[in-house]
Each structure stands twice: as C-alpha cells, then as structure tokens.
Structure 1
Amino acid sequence: MIKIESLTLQRGALRLLESADLTLHPGQKAGLLGTNGAGKSSLFALFRGELTPDAGSCTIPADWRIAHMLQEIDNLDRVAVDYVLDGDQRLREIQQRLQRAEEEHDNHALGMLYAELESHNGFSADARARVLLAGLGFSSEQCEARVGDFSGGWRMRLNLAQALMCPSDLLLLDEPTNHLDLDAILWLEDWLRAYQGTLVLISHDRDFLDAVVEHIVHVENKQLTLYRGGYTQFERTRAERLTQQQAAFEKQQAQREHMEKYIARFRAQATKAKQAQSRLKALERMETLSPAHLDSPFSFSFREADKQPSPLIDLREGVLGYGEQAILHQVKLQLVPGARIGVLGPNGAGKSTLIKTLAGSLALMDGELKSSEHLAIGYFAQHQLDSLDSKASPLLHMARIAPQEREQSLRNFLGGFDFHGARAEEPVLHFSGGEKARLALALIAWQKPNLLLLDEPTNHLDMEMRHALTLALQGFEGAMLLVSHDRALIRDTTDELWLVADGRLQTYQEDLDTYTRWLARFRQQQAEDIRIANAPAGAQPDEERVDAKTQRRLAAEERKRLAPLRKQVDKLEKQMGEAQAELADIETGLANNEIYTAGMKDQLKTLLSRQAACRQKIEQLEEQWLEASEELESHSA
C-alpha cells in the first residue's frame, strides 16, 4: 500500500505539504484534487521517486510497477503502435534479448526467452496495443502513422495509451481526459473501472471522477484529506463544512437573490420561460453545490450584448465540410436569443465542423446562411489559445480590444479570471494551458457577444474555473451552442440537445444518460455494419415476418442445418485441446536443463522445430474455430 506519514514537501521556498498523512490500500482508485500549485504534480513526482521528502516518509512497495502518463514525446519518427508498445518496457527488453539470441543462434536462450515472452503475454501485445488505440479514437490507418504526424492533442492520447499499455501495480494519470472526446472518455471509464491495480487520478471532470474513483484525496492547507466516495460526495461533504462559516452563507445568499430576481422577472414571459426554468433548476442545485466553491478565485460574467436581434443566424439546406468532402447534409437551424444548446455526436461526426461553419472560419459548401447585421459571436476553440500573442500580457490583450477603457477597469475584469497585480502584466509565453484558456474566455466575455460558439471550453480548466464558467453561462442572456466532453457543464447550462450523426443534424429528445447508451449502441452498430460488409457474398437479412408456427418449423430446420457447423466447432475444439496438450509436453521438455547440453543439440533442434510447428497449428486451428463459431453465431442470431 501507499503510506505517507508526517510528510513535509517543499519546492524552493514554497512549502507544499507539512506533516501530512495518507494511506491508500492496494486496488483503491482515488482522485487527487487541489488548487493549481497545491502540490498535486509534486506528489506524483514523489510517487515516481523523482522527489524525496523534506521530512517524514512516503512508502510504496519496492516490487510495485509504476506507470504514468508522459507529458512530452521525444521520438516523433516512431510509428504510433510501436510507440504505444514501448510503454511495456519488459516486453521490449525480452524482444531485444530475443533478437540478440537469434543473431547469435543461441538455441538455449531462445527457448527460455520464448517461454518468458509467452508468460508476459507478449504474443498478444500488438493486438492489445491496437485495441487501446481504437478505444482512444485512432483508426487502423492512424496506428501505422508517424507520431510526428499527429497534433498535440492526439500525441497526448498516444501518451495515455502508452501508460495503459504498461503492466502496473500503480497507475498515475494527470488530466487524461483533457484531449479526449466523449466517446473516448466513456471507453476510458470502462477500462479504468476494470483496472486491477491502484489508481491515482488528477482530473477536473466531475462525471469522470464519479464514474471511476471511490475516494478523493484533497490537497488543502498543506494537508492531505481522504474523502470516501466520488467527486459529488466529496463536494457535498466539503460543502457541509463550509456552510458553517458566516462569510460563506452571506455570499451564497447574494447568489440566490440574483437568481431569484432573474426568475421572477422572466418566468411569465413565453420567450424567456425556458431560461427561467433553467435558472430555477440551478437554484435548486446551488443549495448543495455552491458552498464547496465559495473560496474560488474566479468570479466573472459575460457582459451584456448591446443588441439581441432575432434570429441571430438562419441556415437552410446547408452542406458542411472541408474542401470537397461533405460531412453534414441538409442542415437546417435557426438560433435566437436565449437558445441554450448542447451539441452531441460521435467522434468525427461533424460537431466541430458545425461550430466552425457558424463561426465563419469554415466556408459553407452549399445552402444559405443568413446572419443578423448585429450578430456578435464569441467563439472559443482550442486553436485560439495558440493565436494569443505570446509576448503580450493579459492586460495588453485587453487594452488592444478596449483601447478607450480605463486600465483599472480592465484590471478589475481580469481579476475575475484570477489575473491579479503583476500576473496581469506578465507575457503569455510561459502561461499554462489553463491560464491561456482563462485569458481567451476573458477576451470573449468582455466583447459583449450575443452568440457563444464554444468548442471544448473546459480543456485545461480546473474544477473552480469550470464552476465559475457554469455560473457565467447560466447568467448569459444570448444564444449558446456548446460542444463539450464535460457532461456536468452540458447538463447545467443547456436546455436543448442536438445530435450530429450519420451526416445529419437533428434535435435529440432524450437526456445525457440516454445518449451515452445510444452512443454505445451506435458503436456496436458500426462494428456490425463493418462485419456485414465483409461477410461472404449472398448473405441476405430476413425481410419477411412469419407466424409462430412457421417460426417453429423454420427453427427446427435451422437447427438441423446448423448441426454440421456445430459438429465442426466441436471437432476443432477437440483438435485445439490435443494440440495444446502436445505443446505443453514439448515445453516441459524444453524446460529440462539437460536438453541444452552439447550432446542434446539435435534433440533441442527437433523440440524447437516441433514447438514452432505446434504453435502454428494452434493458430490455424484457432482461426478456423473462430470463423466456424462466428458463422454459427451469425446463423443462430
């Protein structure tokens, strides 16, 4: 287990932990939370042995294998699947030793190394690496691409796959969902729930934490506090403690009063009724959720637009795509003030294409797009972080878009995004991804948009900033179109869901929980379509409905027809059992040290030859059995 006792950890003059204690038992899954700079990454470095305690102790079993997610990639020429396989260092070591033994014709070493490779599941490693890549959204073609051909976000996916590939007793993941879409996040949730080792996870995605961890370790006031349950339970427990403070109570009352005034003002108006209902739901949630964030350094709102024309955007018969490749067809939509829409859809279906087209950064291929002359778009996308002037400060960025505004007003506004004092004057060059994202949001919020187009705005944002953004979006009175893998943000800020899938855009009538199940079925259907496309010619689905009597007769005929197939499957299973027994006998012989003496050279060669032939036979039998079983299942369905 991981045992921390009276731990003091210091970086330079900054003391991160002081006399902290923590115990994590084998197999526990814990989320590690804390403000930026609280010491989360330093704690990870301590676990990896890269830091030593300034006082106290941190004990991890010496035989534990530790895997962690790299933040950089050095070898850009590596093929993606090979890069992922590099995560299993023991596998690579065995393979290198095998190569040397083959070059030296060392049959003794070869026999031992092949047995070691098999015990390490090395023969299935390539397939397992491709399964990891597929789960994280890589196509078969991308598995063979150079690492350098991928963007920064996809390289982070490769680092995640490499960490998952590494056999481990302790897995350390730092913001693994930052560059994932919802498809990949749901896959990762399943993978981590099945993980048998100890997991420590830094994440700001509350739904992801709730799905994966059963404990929260909170770094606060230089201490480590262990909470039972996922993030929601942690937030509730911490809220109960904070609400005992008078200052917290007063701030919460002010927030409630603001929402109540909004509800009272707009509840009776038909055009605003939906928004008022949304605020009412937010007000109900505030009772338990808000207090846990009352010490947040963030507090901001989107400045009210000068005009709210209706409609803001009207698109008819739109064809959207890149170059000559159409992705979405016959798109019809109209955005009016107060529309609050979450856009859902599988990876690659066209969500970002829709946002980019409406933002004007991607030309419409066909159709008619009308925009109001008073349209003011606030567009957030990840590439905009790279377009910030690295030599300019947050204050200078603000001054460029508001040259007539008083400096103090700009400083006050930036303070709501936690850019205070000298920090507001520092160049963006060395800012973190989270700080750049906050600055991009500040620039949008200042410019009084009446339409927000947000494409994954929470990437790099911590929990407190996500909460502040949620409150700001709840108070925004214009229209909003949101693409996000943060299910909590979608749930708390949108009133309507749209679905992008199969080249179409349509209203989605269900909720997020139903969508996750729909997404799973969608992926299964995709796999089934591929299977059918590759099925033998002439196979046709049943198109006629028959009565019960006919069904029974057909079922009896089908059982009779399938009997030879079942017999073939049984026969292949028996042959595989015999072949595997033969292989076991051969490997028993290879395990005898005498076989590697000089006088037994011919016998060794014979055994190795039989071993290779037997393995090949088993592979062929397994392939035949799989084909026969699939055919049997397809006819039995």
Structure 2
Amino acid sequence: MIQLQDISLHRGTQFLLEDATLTIHSGWKVGLIGANGVGKSSLFKLLLGELHADKGDLYLPGQLRIAHMAQEVSATDRSALEYVLDGDPELRRVQQALAKAEAEHDNHRIAELHAELETLEGYTAESRAYQLLAGLGFSTGDAQRSVKDFSGGWRIRLNLAQALMCRSDLLLLDEPTNHLDLDATIWLEQWLRQYQGSIILISHDRDFLDNVVGHIAHLYNQKLELYKGNYSQFEVLRASKLAQQQAAFEKQQARIHEIEDFVRRFRAKATKAKQAQSRIKELERMEKIAPAHVDSPFNFSFRESDKISHPLMGLREAQCGYSDKVILNNVGLTLQPGARIGLLGPNGAGKSTLIKTLVGDIKLVSGDTQTGEHLKIGYFAQHQLEALDLEASPLLHIKRNSPNASDQEIRDFLGSFGFLGDDALEPVKRFSGGEKARVALALIAWQKPNLLLMDEPTNHLDLEVRHALTLALQTFNGALILVSHDRHLLRNTVDEFLLVADGVVTEFKGDLDDYQRWLTENKRQQQSNEPVVERENRSLSAAEKKEQKRLEAEKRKKLSPLKKQLEKLEQALDKYQSELAEVETALADPAIYEDSRKDELKTLLQQQADLKRNAEETEEQWMEQQEALEMLEAELNG
C-alpha cells in the first residue's frame, strides 16, 4: 500500500500540493489526471525519491521495486535489444556473475547461478525483449541497431520497452502513448491489463485510461482526490459532484444572507440577543464552499472558409512515395466538403506518406492530382511545432499572416486557445510542447481552411484541449483526414475509415473494434510468414533445450483450462447482456425521469455503466483467451 499523508510540495514559488492525502492499494491501476503544469510529474519524482516533500509523510512498502519510463535517452552505441534487457537489473547482475564464474571455472557457483537464472526466467528474457520491441512497432532487424541510430520518438519507445522489461511491483508511466501509433497503443493497453503489480499512469488519452485503470486520482487545487472507476466514470461522478457543490453553495449563500439579515434586524433587541449571537457564531464557523464552475479556457473552432470547391481535391491512379521507393500503389481518392476520414494501418504502412502527398510535401511518383480552385489546406503534424519561430509570440505568428487584423481581434481569438492576457505576447521558446501544439492549431484555425489534414494532433495535448479539439472538429464544415492514436477523437470526429496496408489504400468497413481484430489477425499472419531469424538458427544449449521442452509441456497443460475459462466467460457475458437489457428497458420508461424517482434513476444509470463495463471487459477477456487458445493449438499442431 502506498500512502501520502498531508503532503505539501512546492517548486520554487509554485504550490503543487498542499496537505494532499492519497492511498493506493496493492494491485490498483490508477490514472493520475490534472491540467498540464499542476504537478503530476513532480508527484512521480516524489515517489521515486528525486524530490522530497516540504511537509507530510510518504509511506512506501519495504523492498518496493519501482519501474518508470524515462523521458529522455542518451545516444548510446548499445543495441536496442541490449538496451531493453538492461531494464532488468536482477537479470544483468546474474548474467555478469555467471560470466565471471565461468571465467574462473567455478562449477559450484555456475550451477547456483543457472538455478537463479531459471528463477528469473532468464532463458526467455531475450524472447520477451523481442516481444516488447515488436509490440511497440520495432521490426526484427531494429533489435540489433544502435540506440543512437533511432530518432527521438523511437528512443522514447525504447525507454518504455525498458520500463516494461523491469521486474517491478509499481510501474510509473508518464504519457506513454505520446510517441505511439494506434497499433502500439492498443498493444500497450493489453500488456498493461495483464500486468500484476500496481500502476500509476499519467495520460491524456481517455480511451487508454478507460481500458487500463480502475481508479482516477485527480490533482486539482493542490489536492488529490480519488475516484473509483475509469475516466468516463470519473467524468460522470465529477459532474454530479460539481452540480451538488453548486447547489450546496447556492443554498449556503441563501442561509448566509438570512443570518446576516437576522443579525442586522435583531442585534439590538435584548429578547433576540442570544439568537443573534448564535447565528453570528454559525456564520463565522460555516465553511465557505467554493462555487462550482468549469474553468477551462479552451473553446475554439475552425473558422468558416470563405469559398469552397466541389471536389476539394483528388488523387487518380497515384503512386505515392519517393523516386527510389514506391510506398502506395494505385491510390484513388476524391475529397468532397464534409468528408470525414480516419486513416488506419500498421506503423510504417504509409499513412503519413499519404498525408504528405496530399499536402504537397512529397511529389507523386506517378498519377494525377486534382485540386479545387478554392482549396485551402490546414495541415498539422509534429514537425510543424519545430518550424514555429521560437522568438515570436502567438500574436506575432498570426499578425504575420494577417497584417491588417487588429491586436484585439487576434487576442480574442487566441484567448479561445488558452492564451490569455500576456500569454499571447510570450515568445514561443518559453512554451511547453502542449502550448506549442495549441499555437500550431490556432494558426491553422485562423487561416480558414476547407481541408484539414491532421497527423497525430493530440500529442502533448491535455484532456481539456483534446475535448475542445473534438468539439471543434465536429463543427468543422470542410473535409477532414485524421491519423491519430486517440480512439475517442477518431470515434467522435470521423465517419469512415481507410485502411493503409500492404502498399494500397482501401475502404475499411468496420469500426475501431473490428480494426483491433484485424490487427491481431494481420500480426498472426506476419509471424507465420516471417523467416526464422538468425538467433533461432543457432544450436540450443542443454539448459535452453530443457527450458524449451518445459514450455511446450506447459502449453499443453494450458489448453484445457483455457477452454474452461472460455466457457465461463461466455456464460458471464450472456448474464451481463441479459441484465443490461433489463436495465435499459427500465431506463426507456419516461416515468423514471420524474423528480420523485431521482434516486432510482441514479441507481439504474450506475448499474448500466457497471454492466456495460463488465460486459466490455468480459468480451475483451474472451477475445484474449480465444486468441491464446488458437495460438497454442497452432503451435502444438505446427
């Protein structure tokens, strides 16, 4: 159990936590949320011992093994595989000791260390590291590349793999999906659901939080408040609490006015003196309840384009890629106003290549591009944040585009993106990644585009800005093509999907759940067709052969329990769906919404949410068990 008791934490003059209390039990998966800059990462540093509280007590279990994802990685010559294996210090310690014992021909010590290595599952460590790398989007050949050869985003993925490799009781993850695509995000989500220890997760991806955590810790006004449930349930509970708080505040204000009026009228009357004094004391000790309000400064939109074309843009028999390498063949695409398209496909399949081709950053290898007379593209990609003038302010960025616009008009516009007051005049170099992303979004919105091409626009954006972006895209009247690992954004802003895979672009007729199943099947096919890598061609040692036989025996033993578990899950799913149907029938009755039945309605809504969550989790478990069963059967038959 982890406990923070009356913790206060200051960074310079900034108060991050004041008398904050939080208890996290063993095995809990907790989402840590709050606006950017309120102290979430500092709380991680407190748990890691890198910061110390100014006041209060932090209780951690003895011998607690903590794994965390570093935000930076130095350029090292170590291979990606070795770097990931370094995440397990116990394994490295035994390996080094074993090498020393073998050099000294200490047979007794060698036997002891081999036993210890087996306890640590050391014989399968390399295989597990390969699986982590594959899950996070690395190819088999990447494993032997030097860390320094990877870009910054891919190095962060290596840090994540190293953290997952670490043998731990508590896993601290700070924005783990920021540099992942949708495929890797889904894989990570499934991995974390199987993790046996405790997790504290900082994320602004609501679907990711919904599918991983069972509690939410909300850092707000220097306090930590714990909610049971995932992020969607937190939203409902928080809204209800704010509504109750507002009602309590209004009721309290009325009571205060009554007391003050009584005191004024009867203070001088001896017969009422005691009553007046008691009410004065009541007024003094009454806790002032802060008025509930939604204080998000983000409420932006994409301004209407002055003119529009039909169609806006199109590709015909297009080959996309580079002169020496064609990535996409025979692409045919027509974009009409109102088109809302999400791009799906494995990492490296060509989603970004297609968007760069549409925006003109990459020329067609062959084929035709048609552009409407009034086409105006708004393009968002991460490299555009780097292209911002670091010395210029948000206001100056827009002023350069529209010299005739008044400062007040620009200030009002920037205010909807959260740049209030003097923030609009600050140089961009002082901004965080999230603030720079808001500047880029503001520049796009100001230019009145009629075609939005957006490649991972939510990286570095917090939940409030993501919500505002979702609403803005919903009301955008032009065409939209979106690549994102944020499934909530995809579900709520696009109405069709294109699948970019195997060198072609085709219509994907399913939803995101269907895409997740497609991914699983696609990976299975790739693994079955993949040539055996060199490391598997070498002769196995006696210990490795023994381990291989043990694993095969274990697989056979697992078949029967898996089948029984599938039957249980099917029965549970039928039960949840039956109960959910009953609850939804009750909710369809108009009478349930009468004031006199508020409590009954609240209970039914909670039951509905619980049953939906249980049904979804059970279905996920069924799919995972079914997949595991099929893979085991294939391995045993193969």
**TM bucket, shorter chain:** 0.7 to 0.9
What is the aligned partner in structure 2 of residue 551 from structure 1? none
Q: State the shift of 1:508 in Å.
A: 2.2
| Compared CA separation, residues 134 and 508, structure 1 to 2 (3 A) | same
Distance 1:168 1:39 in 2: 24
- What TM-score, normalized to structure 1? 0.76
Q: State the shift of 1:633 in Å.
A: 5.4
| Compared CA separation, residues 245 and 635, structure 1 to 2 (3 A) | closer
Q: State the shift of 1:312 in Å.
A: 0.6
- State the Cα deviation string for residues 392-445 of structure 1 (Å, max 9, x = none): 222222222122211222222222211223322222224221111111111111
Distance 1:81 1:352 in 2: 27
Residue type of the alignment partner of 1:215: H
| Compared CA separation, residues 519 and 632, structure 1 to 2 (3 A) | closer
Q: Equivalent residues in 2 for 1:137-286 (5 A)?
A: 137-243=137-243
What is the aligned partner in structure 1 of residue 266 from structure 2? none
Q: State the shift of 1:206 in Å.
A: 0.7
Residue type of the alignment partner of 1:76: T
| Compared CA separation, residues 613 and 312, structure 1 to 2 (3 A) | closer
Residue type of the alignment partner of 2:459: N
Distance 2:244 2:115 in 1: 63
Distance 1:402 1:497 in 2: 35
Distance 1:141 1:532 in 2: 12
SS across alignment from 2:530 = helix
| Compared CA separation, residues 621 and 159, structure 1 to 2 (3 A) | closer
Distance 2:408 2:105 in 1: 77
Identify which range, 51-60 or 224-233, moves more after superposition: 51-60
| Compared CA separation, residues 242 and 631, structure 1 to 2 (3 A) | closer
Q: Equivalent residues in 2 for 1:616-627 (5 A)?
A: 618=546
What is the aligned partner in structure 2 of residue 345 from structure 1? 345
Distance 1:85 1:27 in 2: 24
Q: State the shift of 1:324 in Å.
A: 2.4
What is the aligned partner in structure 1 of residue 29 from structure 2? 29
Q: Is the 8 A contact 1:293 1:464 kept in 2?
A: no
| Compared CA separation, residues 635 and 392, structure 1 to 2 (3 A) | closer
Q: Equivalent residues in 2 for 1:108-507 (5 A)?
A: 108-243=108-243, 294-507=294-507
Q: State the shift of 1:8 in Å.
A: 1.4
Q: Is the 8 A contact 2:123 2:544 kept in 1?
A: no
What is the aligned partner in structure 2 of residue 516 from structure 1? 516
Distance 2:47 2:505 in 1: 47
What is the aligned partner in structure 2 of residue 71 from structure 1? 71
Q: Equivalent residues in 2 for 1:599-614 (5 A)?
A: 614=542
SS across alignment from 1:242 = helix
Distance 2:293 2:88 in 1: 40
Residue type of the alignment partner of 1:503: G
Distance 1:140 1:633 in 2: 22
Distance 1:510 1:108 in 2: 60
SS across alignment from 1:318 = strand
Distance 2:175 2:555 in 1: 41
Residue type of the alignment partner of 1:448: K
| Counterpart selection for 2:543 from 608, 611, 615 | 615
| Compared CA separation, residues 104 and 425, structure 1 to 2 (3 A) | farther
Distance 1:504 1:525 in 2: 18
What is the aligned partner in structure 2 of residue 565 from structure 1? none
* Aligned-residue identity in percent: 59
SS across alignment from 1:176 = coil
| Compared CA separation, residues 52 and 631, structure 1 to 2 (3 A) | closer
SS across alignment from 1:167 = coil
| Compared CA separation, residues 35 and 304, structure 1 to 2 (3 A) | same
| Compared CA separation, residues 68 and 207, structure 1 to 2 (3 A) | same
SS across alignment from 1:385 = helix
Q: Is the 8 A contact 1:29 1:215 kept in 2?
A: yes
Q: State the shift of 1:113 in Å.
A: 2.8
Identify which range, 61-70 or 14-23, moves more after superposition: 14-23
What is the aligned partner in structure 2 of residue 586 from structure 1? none
When the two chains are superposed, the root-mean-square deviation of aligned CA atoms in Å is: 2.8
SS across alignment from 2:441 = helix
Residue type of the alignment partner of 1:176: P
What is the aligned partner in structure 2 of residue 55 from structure 1? 55
Q: State the shift of 1:114 in Å.
A: 2.9
Identify which range, 612-621 or 438-447, moves more after superposition: 612-621
Residue type of the alignment partner of 1:425: L
Q: Equivalent residues in 2 for 1:550-565 (5 A)?
A: none
* 1:82 and 2:90 correspond: no
Residue type of the alignment partner of 1:488: H
Structure 1: state its 5+ residue gaps: 248-291, 535-611
Distance 2:403 2:102 in 1: 72
Q: Is the 8 A contact 2:242 2:293 kept in 1?
A: no
What is the aligned partner in structure 1 of residue 528 from structure 2? 528
Residue type of the alignment partner of 1:237: L
- State the Cα deviation string for residues 315-342 of structure 1 (Å, max 9, x = none): 1111112332222222111111111111
- State the Cα deviation string for residues 517-545 of structure 1 (Å, max 9, x = none): 222222222223337999xxxxxxxxxxx
Distance 1:17 1:437 in 2: 27
Q: Is the 8 A contact 1:293 1:467 kept in 2?
A: no
Q: Is the 8 A contact 1:4 1:57 kept in 2?
A: yes
- What TM-score, normalized to structure 2? 0.76
SS across alignment from 1:458 = coil
SS across alignment from 2:459 = coil
Distance 1:412 1:496 in 2: 34
Residue type of the alignment partner of 2:43: L
| Compared CA separation, residues 370 and 616, structure 1 to 2 (3 A) | closer
Residue type of the alignment partner of 2:521: R
- State the Cα deviation string for residues 170-206 of structure 1 (Å, max 9, x = none): 0000000111111111111111011000000000111
Distance 1:472 1:632 in 2: 48
Distance 2:164 2:434 in 1: 25
- State the Cα deviation string for residues 267-291 of structure 1 (Å, max 9, x = none): xxxxxxxxxxxxxxxxxxxxxxxxx
| Compared CA separation, residues 616 and 527, structure 1 to 2 (3 A) | closer
| Compared CA separation, residues 482 and 74, structure 1 to 2 (3 A) | same
Residue type of the alignment partner of 1:210: D
| Compared CA separation, residues 147 and 636, structure 1 to 2 (3 A) | closer
Identify which range, 22-31 or 364-373, moves more after superposition: 364-373
Identify which range, 387-396 or 60-69, moves more after superposition: 387-396
Distance 2:633 2:213 in 1: 40
SS across alignment from 1:348 = coil
What is the aligned partner in structure 2 of residue 14 from structure 1? 14
Distance 2:293 2:474 in 1: 16
Residue type of the alignment partner of 1:164: L
Structure 2: state its 5+ residue gaps: 248-291, 535-539, 558-630
Q: State the shift of 1:482 in Å.
A: 0.7
SS across alignment from 2:342 = strand
SS across alignment from 1:298 = coil
Q: State the shift of 1:347 in Å.
A: 1.8
Q: Is the 8 A contact 1:318 1:367 kept in 2?
A: yes
Distance 1:162 1:533 in 2: 22
